[in-house]
């Protein structure tokens, strides 16, 4: 599907949160399909283990990691600045659900910074390389568990912080921003779609009080399908669950979507 090169016949893919339950499975499945895969992680020991496990499981040696805190814009920009070549697939997957309200060193509420701004900053920082490598695909791992967005209080400065509410807001924002980013990148043959991955037992879901009845590989199936399948090559700005396009009521409020995107670009 992607322009092949001698060293990466399927293309180059970047996966954030690739030491987590779903992200690691996404990275492994993409490596299994022949992609050169870069795992964006924040913990070196976990990153090294994930790279080894994926290389062994797939026989694909073109797997490496980069240490980046995706809640920090400067760290993302530094990664984009040192990126060595093309990029065909970007999977924004890293997310966090702290039980107490936390802030980044820049003073941004941590779920908003990681789960929302991290997706926008990654896509913006890599948009030039994605366009230059087109056709390209961005997949935003969101959730069906979404809602509660308050555009006047995105950082829970007025509302009392609740990690479930902050998480639901962040996943609603991911779905809305998918449309804004898709509109921006469509002329340059880069698609942007959002999905619910599945209910998977993970640190993130445990923090929210949930377990999960699907395996990490099942959770990775829809993101990987969106990243690779010829059937969705032309789809952009859409939301999917279990490899099916769904109506997304959050994406229908165009004014709020545009306002949210403007706010995010201002950070």
Ligand X SMILES: NC(=O)c1ccc[n+]([C@@H]2O[C@H](COP(=O)([O-])OP(=O)(O)OC[C@H]3O[C@@H](n4cnc5c(N)ncnc54)[C@H](OP(=O)(O)O)[C@@H]3O)[C@@H](O)[C@H]2O)c1
Q: Which residues are catalytic?
A: 167
What is the biggest distance separating any 2 CA atoms in the chain, rounded to whole angstroms?
54
As given in the structure block, the two tokens for residue 22 are: 């779903």
Contact call for residue 120 and ligand X (CB under 6 A): no
CB of 87 to ligand X, least distance (A): 18
Tell me whether residue 22 or residue 182 sits nearer to ligand X (CB atom): 22
Q: Segment contacting ligand X (CB under 6 A): 80-88, 201-209, 229-237, 257-265?
A: 201-209
DSSP class of residue 109 equals B
Give the burial string for 203-220 (b: 16+ CB within 10 Å, else e): ebbeeeeeebebebbbbb
CB of 60 to ligand X, least distance (A): 20
Q: Which residue is nearest to ligand X (CB)?
A: 20
Pairing status of strand 239-241 against strand 244-246: antiparallel
Closest contact distance (angstroms) between CB of 189 and ligand X is: 25
Main-chain phi, psi angles of 136, to 5 degrees: -135, 165
Residues numbered 236-265 forming contacts with ligand X, rule: CB under 6 A: none
Of 188 and 217, nearer to ligand X (C-beta) is 217
For residues 111 and 97, is the Cβ–Cβ distance under 8 A? yes
Task: List phi, psi (to 5°) of 229.
Answer: -75, 135
Neighbours of 152 (CB within 10 A): 8
Which residue stretch of 122-130, 180-188, 197-205, 257-265 sits at the interface with ligand X (rule: CB under 6 A)? 197-205
Looking at 3, 4, 43, 99, which residue binds ligand X (CB under 6 A)? 43
Q: What is the total count of residues that contact ligand X (CB under 6 A)?
A: 29
Closest distance to ligand X from the beta carbon of 200 (Å): 4
Are 24 and 93 in contact, with CB atoms under 8 Å apart? no
How many CB atoms are located within 10 Å of the residue 131 CB? 16
Q: Does 42 bind ligand X (CB under 6 A)?
A: yes
Q: Is 20 in the site for ligand X (CB under 6 A)?
A: yes
Q: Residues 64-103 vs ligand X: string with x where CB under 6 A?
A: -----xxx---------------------xxxx-------
Structure tokens, 213: 């009845």
3-class secondary structure, 60: coil
* Contact residues: ligand X, CB under 6 A: 17, 19-23, 42-43, 46, 69-71, 93-96, 114, 141, 143, 171, 196-197, 199-200, 202-205, 212
């Amino acid at each position: 599907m992607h322009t092949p090169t001698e060293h990466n016949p399927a293309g180059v893919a970047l996966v954030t949160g690739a030491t987590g339950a779903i992200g690691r499975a996404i990275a492994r499945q993409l490596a299994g399909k022949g992609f050169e895969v870069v795992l964006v992680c924040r913990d070196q020991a976990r990153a090294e283990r994930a790279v080894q496990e994926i290389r062994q499981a797939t026989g694909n040696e073109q797997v490496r990691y980069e240490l980046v805190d995706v809640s920090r814009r400067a760290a993302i920009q530094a990664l984009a600045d040192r990126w060595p070549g093309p990029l065909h697939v970007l999977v924004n997957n890293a997310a966090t659900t702290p039980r107490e309200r936390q802030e980044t060193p820049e003073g941004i509420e941590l779920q908003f910074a990681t789960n929302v701004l991290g997706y926008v900053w990654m896509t913006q920082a890599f948009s030039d390389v994605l366009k230059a490598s087109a056709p390209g695909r961005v997949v935003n791992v969101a959730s069906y568990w979404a809602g509660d967005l308050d555009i006047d209080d995105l950082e829970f400065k007025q509302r009392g912080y609740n990690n479930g509410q902050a998480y639901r807001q962040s996943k609603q924002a991911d779905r809305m921003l998918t449309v804004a980013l898709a509109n921006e990148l469509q002329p340059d043959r880069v698609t942007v779609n959002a999905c619910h991955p599945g209910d998977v037992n993970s640190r993130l879901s445990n923090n929210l009080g949930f377990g999960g009845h699907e395996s990490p590989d099942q959770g990775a199936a829809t993101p990987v399908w969106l990243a690779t399948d010829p059937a969705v090559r032309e789809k952009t700005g859409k939301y999917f669950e279990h490899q099916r396009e769904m109506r997304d009521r959050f994406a229908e409020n165009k004014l709020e979507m545009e306002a949210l995107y403007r706010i995010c670009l201002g950070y």
